[in-house]
């Protein structure tokens, strides 16, 4: 076909612009303009795989850099100065709002300290969510006052359209607003505590924490529910405040009433969950909650309540409404948007009933059933720290190491928190599949959902939710029984003996075995790569210290932290390979630094790196490692800014690559062919699938 007579299959234009044939299509649909392809990519989602919609071939492009570009040193340093100006404003905000935290405070005034800390936390969240807040407050024109993220070349905002006047004109008032907000709130808190010292003494919680240790020990010995009078009074106060703001629906200030009710509602839900867990369970979570002051308990209640809403309650209700064809209304956060007072009270009561039903079915009943049938399983273990000894009389080095280790002891606790968060999120995914069964049953029996919405919700509270809760409880019992069997039959080394009565460790072991036998091959490959990458980091960490007991963080804790923190890096097989490359590089660097300690131990008979090196070397190594990572991040930022500017000014041009028959033959090896064939033929393979396929084949052979 003549190229002059060819047309672009997107715009149907002629050959005024260069035409490319980047895919396997033939005939009149093989040609594309570069500009048309660029516009098509702009309207596609960010995760689009850039495959041809006809032949499904992945279209490839190459970057061409012009020799004499428009990005000079003046342009580069001007852009760098604008980014540094924004960073300077952020630094001033953080330092100014953090100043109240640096003041030495009286330990008896716990409420004052916690309130100030919460104020700083809210301020930090507002600072780092500046873009979202700016779009809602200032409207869509807010984008004119922001610099695009370095590397996000597909954003509409451009660096060349910004100047210092726009940046300072917005960042200055924004910084003054937050600094003034922080200072005013701190002045109010200090003034309130100055004029009401008795409230400070009551809220300090000293009396509340004095008798908790004996109660915890009594609960561990007899496994009876705790009855703490201080917790009872605090719960009564929060419940009374919730009812008060429920009656405050008559207020004309709807937004203020909604915010107050939102606050007390979720503090109350968090209080219920934490009290139930602390009553029926023993271990780190119960000890943490019962040993803290009332003010710290309220903060923790607020965190748990907000998370339960965002991760569970809201999604639970939205999926429920979607599958039952009910109107999706946010009954938790907007009970005051109705004109009639009856509708306000009804909607608010509905939100309270739904949240309490959720806590009853998904927290209280499973724990109560486990207490009755398997009481020894409700042990969450403790925060395990390293056990080490330092020889010699270097008290300063000993104190430094003790401070360092004590700072890392809580990491084991936060690892368990991350595990619980992950399990709560996965529970929502499980419920999405279960709701399909519910919708299928309603369809088969001819249930009129639109005419019987109230009956549908009543049936769900009485029938469906208990069934879902029972299935989920039995599922976690099954996982925990698998993990406990490893300790019961002594299949693990003595190093893991601290986890013998740790419910989270049992569930993690059972889940690892369950997923290795009941998931498809593609997910199995990703899990294997993720396991190898996280294990390489943990092994290098173990090799550096030479003994797991001497490490500030236990290797298995570091493994779980790496597993959770690197969760977004393992989406596809190509992402897994890239992540493995960086993980192996980090592990090799750690092993290289640990090699001299083993040479010294071989010569002088040292048994660990802490004996071969001084404690100052270990601290210096950690500081140097963090500095190296920081320098690497700075270099990456400089390089990314240069690339971003060249792309904006047209110094880098992305051009399509014409398809050739030899491209597949060059890029495909025999191993890759075999691997693709294997995945295609066994893509649904798992131990469960293999057994099912075997029995299916036997039944087919027996049929005449």
d(CA 431, CA 176): 46
pLDDT at position 113: 58
281 burial (CB, 10 Å; 0-12 / 13-18 / 19+) is buried
The CATH number of domain 1-69+653-669 is 3.30.470: no
Across 564-575, b (16+ Cβ under 10 Å) vs e yields: bebeeebeeeee
pLDDT band at 210 (very low <50, low <70, confident <90, very high): very low
Return the structure tokens found at 662. 């030899």
DSSP SS3 for 259: helix
pLDDT at position 325: 61
**Left if phi > 0, otherwise alpha if psi is -120 to 50, otherwise beta: which for 613?**
beta
d(CA 246, CA 345): 7
Would you say residue 144 has pLDDT above 80? no
pLDDT at position 222: 39
382 burial (CB, 10 Å; 0-12 / 13-18 / 19+) is middle
Question: Over the stretch 409-461, which tens digit does the pLDDT of each residue have?
Answer: 677 777 888 888 777 777 766 666 666 676 676 666 655 555 555 555 556 66
SS (H, E, C) 157-195: CCHHHCCHHHHHHHHHHHHHHHHHHHHHHHHHHHHHHHH
Rg (CA), the chain: 31
Beta carbons within 8 Å of 84's beta carbon, 6+ residues apart: none
CB 53, CB 90: distance < 8 Å: no
CA quadruple 300, 305, 310, 313: dihedral sign: positive
Would you say residue 197 has pLDDT above 70? no
H/E stretch holding 229: helix 229-247
Beta carbons within 8 Å of 428's beta carbon, 6+ residues apart: 311, 312, 315, 316, 319
Q: Tell me the pLDDT of the chain averaged across its residues.
A: 70
79 vs 96, higher pLDDT: 79
Q: How many CB atoms lie within 10 A of CB 94?
A: 15
pLDDT at position 215: 37
pLDDT band at 576 (very low <50, low <70, confident <90, very high): confident
pLDDT at position 198: 40
pLDDT band at 205 (very low <50, low <70, confident <90, very high): very low
Return the structure tokens found at 293. 């002051």
Distances in Å between the alpha carbon of 6 and those of 2, 9, 330, 656? 6, 9, 55, 17
d(CA 687, CA 690): 5
Question: Over the stretch 339-368, which tens digit does the pLDDT of each residue have?
Answer: 455 555 666 677 777 777 778 888 888 888
DSSP 324-385: TT-----TTT-TT--SSHHHHHHHHHHHHHHHHHHHIIIIIHHHHHHHHH-GGG-BB-----
pLDDT at position 261: 67
Return the structure tokens found at 603. 């010569």
d(CA 238, CA 9): 66
- Domain extents in the chain: 1-69+653-669, 73-204
pTM value > 0.75: no
Would you say residue 33 has pLDDT above 80? yes
Distances in Å between the alpha carbon of 271 and those of 246, 261, 294, 382, 423? 18, 15, 11, 22, 20
DSSP SS3 for 65: strand
pLDDT band at 40 (very low <50, low <70, confident <90, very high): confident
pLDDT band at 686 (very low <50, low <70, confident <90, very high): low
For the chain, what percent of residues have pLDDT higher than 90?
Answer: 0
Q: How many CB atoms lie within 10 A of CB 609?
A: 24
pLDDT band at 124 (very low <50, low <70, confident <90, very high): low
pLDDT at position 495: 79
d(CA 133, CA 690): 52
pLDDT band at 258 (very low <50, low <70, confident <90, very high): low
Distances in Å between the alpha carbon of 475 and those of 41, 265, 468, 469, 511? 44, 30, 11, 10, 10
Phi, psi (rounded to 5 degrees) for 51: -100, 145
Nearest Cα to 168, choosing from 194, 139, 147, 192? 147
Question: Over the stretch 268-316, which tens digit does the pLDDT of each residue have?
Answer: 888 888 888 888 888 887 877 877 777 778 778 888 887 777 766 676 6
Return the structure tokens found at 75. 């342009």
CB 160, CB 218: distance < 8 Å: no
d(CA 428, CA 308): 11
Nearest Cα to 336, choosing from 216, 256, 424, 418? 256
Distance of CA 342 to the CA centre of its chain: 39
120 vs 642, higher pLDDT: 642
d(CA 486, CA 554): 20
């Amino acid at each position: 076909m003549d190229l002059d007579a060819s047309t672009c299959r997107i715009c149907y234009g002629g050959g005024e612009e260069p035409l490319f044939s980047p895919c396997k299509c033939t005939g009149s649909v093989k040609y594309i303009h570069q500009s048309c392809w660029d516009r098509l990519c702009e309207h596609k989602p960010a995760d689009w795989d850039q495959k041809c919609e006809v032949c499904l071939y992945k279209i490839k492009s190459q970057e061409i850099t012009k020799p004499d570009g428009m990005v000079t040193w003046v342009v580069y340093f001007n852009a760098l100065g604008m980014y540094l100006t924004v960073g300077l404003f952020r630094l001033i905000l953080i330092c100014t709002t953090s100043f109240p935290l640096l003041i030495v405070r009286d330990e008896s005034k716990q409420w004052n300290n916690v309130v100030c800390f919460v104020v700083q936390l809210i301020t930090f969240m507002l600072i780092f969510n500046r873009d979202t807040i700016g779009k809602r407050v200032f409207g869509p024109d807010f984008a004119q006052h922001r610099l695009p993220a370095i590397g996000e070349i597909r954003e509409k905002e451009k660096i060349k359209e910004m100047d210092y006047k726009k940046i300072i004109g917005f960042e200055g008032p924004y910084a003054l607003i937050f600094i003034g907000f922080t200072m005013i709130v701190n002045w109010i808190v200090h003034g309130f505590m100055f004029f009401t010292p008795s409230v400070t003494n009551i809220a300090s919680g000293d009396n509340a924490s004095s008798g908790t240790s004996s109660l915890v020990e009594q609960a561990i010995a007899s496994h009876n529910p705790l009855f703490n009078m201080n917790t009872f009074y605090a719960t009564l106060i929060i419940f009374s405040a919730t009812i008060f703001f429920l009656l405050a629906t008559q207020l004309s200030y709807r937004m203020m009433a909604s915010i107050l009710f939102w606050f007390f509602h979720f503090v109350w839900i968090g209080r219920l969950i934490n009290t139930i867990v602390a009553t029926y369970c023993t271990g780190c979570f119960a000890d943490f909650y019962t040993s803290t002051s009332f003010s710290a308990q309220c903060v923790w209640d607020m965190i748990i309540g907000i998370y339960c809403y965002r991760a569970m309650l809201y999604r639970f209700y939205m999926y429920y409404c979607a599958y039952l064809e009910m109107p999706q209304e946010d009954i938790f956060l907007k009970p005051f948007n109705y004109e009639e007072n009856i509708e306000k009270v009804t909607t608010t009561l509905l939100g309270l009933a739904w949240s309490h039903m959720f806590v009853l079915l998904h927290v209280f009943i499973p724990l109560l059933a486990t207490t009755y049938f398997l009481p020894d399983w409700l042990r969450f273990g403790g925060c395990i720290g390293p056990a080490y000894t330092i020889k010699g009389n270097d008290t300063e080095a000993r104190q430094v190491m003790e401070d360092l280790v004590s700072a890392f002891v809580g990491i084991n606790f936060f690892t368990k928190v991350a595990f619980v968060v992950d399990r709560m999120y996965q529970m929502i995914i499980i419920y999405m599949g279960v709701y399909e069964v519910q919708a299928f049953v309603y369809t088969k029996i001819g249930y009129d959902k639109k005419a019987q919405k109230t009956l549908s919700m009543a049936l769900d509270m009485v029938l469906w939710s208990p069934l879902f809760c029972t299935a989920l409880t039995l599922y976690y019992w099954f996982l925990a029984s698998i993990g406990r069997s490893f300790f019961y039959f002594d299949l693990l080394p003595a190093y893991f003996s601290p986890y013998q009565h740790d419910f989270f460790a049992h569930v993690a072991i059972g889940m690892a075995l369950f997923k290795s036998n009941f998931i498809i091959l593609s997910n199995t490959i990703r899990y294997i790569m993720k396991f190898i990458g996280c294990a390489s980091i943990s092994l290098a960490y173990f090799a550096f210290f030479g003994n797991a007991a001497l490490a500030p963080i236990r290797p298995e804790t570091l493994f779980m932290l790496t597993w959770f923190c690197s969760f977004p890096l393992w989406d596809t097989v190509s992402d897994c390979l890239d992540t493995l490359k960086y993980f192996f590089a980090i592990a090799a660097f750690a092993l290289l630094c640990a090699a001299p300690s083993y040479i010294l131990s071989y010569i002088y008979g040292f048994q660990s790196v802490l004996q071969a090196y001084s404690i100052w070397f270990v601290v210096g190594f950690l500081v140097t490692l963090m500095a190296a990572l920081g320098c690497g991040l700075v270099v990456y930022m400089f390089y990314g800014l240069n690339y971003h500017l060249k792309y904006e000014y047209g110094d880098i041009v992305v051009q399509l690559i014409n398809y050739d028959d030899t491209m597949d033959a060059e890029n495909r090896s025999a191993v890759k062919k075999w691997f693709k064939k294997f995945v295609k033929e066994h893509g649904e393979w798992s131990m469960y699938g293999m057994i099912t396929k075997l029995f299916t084949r036997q039944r087919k052979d027996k049929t005449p």
